[in-house]
Each structure stands twice: as structure tokens, then as C-alpha cells.
Amino acid sequence: MPLIQNNHYRPPIYLRSGHFQTIYPTLFRKVPLVTDERERIKTPDGDFIDLDWKRSQPSKKLVVISHGLEGHGHSQYCQGMARTLVQDGWQVCIWNFRGCSGEPNHRLQSYHSGATEDLQCVINHILKSKHYEHISLIGFSLGGNLSLKYIAEAGHNLPANIRSAVGVSVACDLESCAKKLERWDNRIYMRRFLKSLTDKVRYKMECFPGEIKDHGLKTMRTFQQFDDAYTAPIHGFKDANEYWSQCSCGPKLSDIQIPTLLVNAQDDPFLTSKCFPYETARDSKFLNFEATKYGGHMGFMLGLQTTQNYAELRTSQFLKEYA
């Protein structure tokens, strides 16, 4: 597949800041709620996953959207993508990771960057309807890593209905991105993520006394500390390094066997050079990699008042080519 180097995304000068593109949409972009139906499904281990649907119009095409770290189905970037694709004739399913739908999940385990078994659970539920001829997986940030990891590991065994995929602002190398977020200029993001994550751990400590302890939550300042203490041991990894190594999608991208678009911005404050798989895309028949000069992390704004962003328009264009 082509390596897309000369893309058409040229935002106004006042939007050519990775930090502004990352922060402004999170705080100020308002997208009317597109999904209008919530469905709860059970997981094989006795937990639940909540799905947010938009399927009022008849269609044989479905997009399954995976949100980012500590996001949810109502996040503006998920609803913005849903709005664009509903206009293109797609039905939409946004799945909320465990504990992200507004209600704590039932088990000690939550979600993580490589929890493809939960995505598989969602897909199995969808396939039971035998309704969709074309399913496309779309993932943002952590959800992008998870989605691309899933299709890469499945390879030729991917369900035939899943015919395309898109990843936006994907942290393809978890270790280097975790380290980059430790930098002083990224403290605002790290603090926000850790505040949300540690609050959930404190709740789990009340629900599962003796099974999870306080390993210095007040003093945690990095993902290394948090993942070493909680994410890794709770989900069966030796430590943060093993978790990051096994769950990063980057090394697996060459195994993708369906048309896939990956869009990462060069000024994304979360990403490192390991998240820009130029060589893999050059050698792949299926991976389209587009590195925009601007866009920040899940920003890709076209203007302060525009209703759509570049990632949504580019995804729409890509899916029209392969649907």
C-alpha cells in the first residue's frame, strides 16, 4: 500500500501547535450525541461491556469504534467520527472499555492497551446477528493500538466480515510513549491520566479488600510506576516493561491482512519516532501510513468553528475506497 507523504492537511497557522491541537478539542469541542441506544453484553469471565449504538438507518455496513485511554463512548472524538460515518451510510457501534461507561465494572481486572479479548467479545456479539457484510474497526490512541494489534494477530484468520481498519494517533510503541509523557512539557497530560486511573484503583481497593493495595498512589508521577504496581500484575504481566512489549502493535503491523489506514501527526506530544512505521508501510500490501505535519493528539482541527476534523474526513474518504 502507498506510504502517504504529501497529505492535504494544512491547518491555519494558529492551529500549528501540537499542544493546542491536543488540548483545545478536549476542552471546547462540542459534538451533539449521535449514538442513541446503549446495549450491555456479558463477557466470558462474568463482567460486562456497554455498547453505544447508532443503527436507526438500514445498512449492511458497520464501524466499531474503540476510544482512547480513560475515554468513553460519548467522548467528542468518538461522536464526531460517528456523525461523519452515519452521514456516509454506516451504522455505528462504540464500545466502552471496562469501567469507562459511567459504571464501574464487576471484576478486579479492567482494560489495558492489549486487551484484544474484549474487542473479540464485542465482535463475536455483533457477528451473531449475521447482519453486516462490511465491518470496519476504528481506534483512537490506546483504542487504535488495540484495534491494530487485534487485526495483526488475527492475520488471515480475521472474520471475513471485517474488511478494513483505521487508527488515529496510535501509540504504536507503548514504552517510548510512556517515557515521553514523563517530560516536563507533558505533565498536564500525565497528571490528568493518573488522577483518573488512581481514582479507579482506590475504588477497586474498597470493592476487593486484600486483593489490591495502595502502592504509593499519592506519590505516583509516571506510567512506569502505575503500570508496574497495577496494570501489569492485575492483568498477568511481570512488570510494566513486559506489558508494554507484549501489547504494542508496532512490531505486528507487517502482519495486517486487510486495508488499513494509520494517521499520526508529527507534532503529537504523546508519540515518538517508533510510532511512525515508514518502512513497514513501504513493504506492506495493506498498511497505508500517513504522517501529517500537524494535528497534535487526536486534534486534526481544520478551524475553531468547523464541525469536522481532518481525521474524520480522511477516514470517510478511505472507507469509501474500500467499502
Residues taking part in catalysis? 141, 268, 297
Among 112, 31, 146, residue whose Cα is nearest residue 79: 31
- Answer yes or no: are the C-beta atoms of 94 and 67 closer than 8 Å: yes
Burial class (CB in 10 A: 0-12, 13-18, 19+), 120: middle
Amino acid of residue 50:
D
- Answer yes or no: are the C-beta atoms of 53 and 132 closer than 8 Å: no
Residue 54 CA to residue 35 CA, distance in Å, equals 5
Burial class (CB in 10 A: 0-12, 13-18, 19+), 24: middle
Three-state SS at 313: helix
Among 160, 158, 200, 202, residue whose Cα is nearest residue 72: 200
- All 3 cell numbers of residue 102? 459511567
